Amino acid sequence: MAAAPKPEGEDPVPLFDPRRMAFFHFMFRRFFAKHMRAARVARWGMPREYGARPLVIFANHPGWWDGVAFMLLSQRLFRGRTMFIPMDAQALSRYAFMKRLGVFGIETGTPRGAVAFLRTAKTVLAAPDRMLWMNAPGRFSDVRERPVPIAPGMTRLPEMAPDALFVPLALDYPFWTERKAEMLCAFGDPIEASALLALPRDDRAPALSQALAQTMDRLALDAIARDPARFETLLRGPEGMGGVWQLWRRLRSTLRGERFDPRHDPRQEAG
For residue 259, is it within any domain? no
Distance from C-alpha of 169 to C-alpha of 186, rounded to nearest angstrom? 6
Please calculate the CA angle 94-30-142 and round it to the nearest 5 degrees. 60
Q: What percent of the chain has pLDDT over 70?
A: 85
| pLDDT per position as a tens digit, 136-146 | 999 999 999 99
pLDDT of residue 267: 56
Q: What's the average model confidence in pLDDT over 237-263?
A: 61
For residue 257, is it within any domain? no
Using the predicted structure, report yes or no on whether residue 94 has a pLDDT greater than 80: yes
The total number of structural domains that make up the chain: 1
DSSP string, 158-221: HHH-TT-EEEEEEEE----SSSSPEEEEEE---EEHHHHHTS-HHHHHHHHHHHHHHHHHHHHH
For residue 134, is it within any domain? yes
Give the pLDDT band of residue 238 (cuts 50, 70, 90).
confident
For residue 223, is it within any domain? yes
Distance from C-alpha of 144 to C-alpha of 62, rounded to nearest angstrom? 9
Q: What's the average model confidence in pLDDT over 61-69?
A: 96
For residue 271, is it within any domain? no
For residue 264, is it within any domain? no
| CATH number of the domain to which 208 belongs | 3.40.1130.10
Q: Give the count of beta carbons closer than 10 Å to the beta carbon of residue 227.
A: 13
Beta bridge partners of 88: 106
Q: Give the count of beta carbons closer than 10 Å to the beta carbon of residue 133.
A: 25
Distance from C-alpha of 250 to C-alpha of 260, rounded to nearest angstrom? 6
Q: What's the average model confidence in pLDDT over 65-69?
A: 95
Q: What share of the chain is helix, strand, coil (3-state, %, to 5)?
A: 45, 20, 40
For residue 207, is it within any domain? yes
| Domain, as residue range, for 61 | 12-238
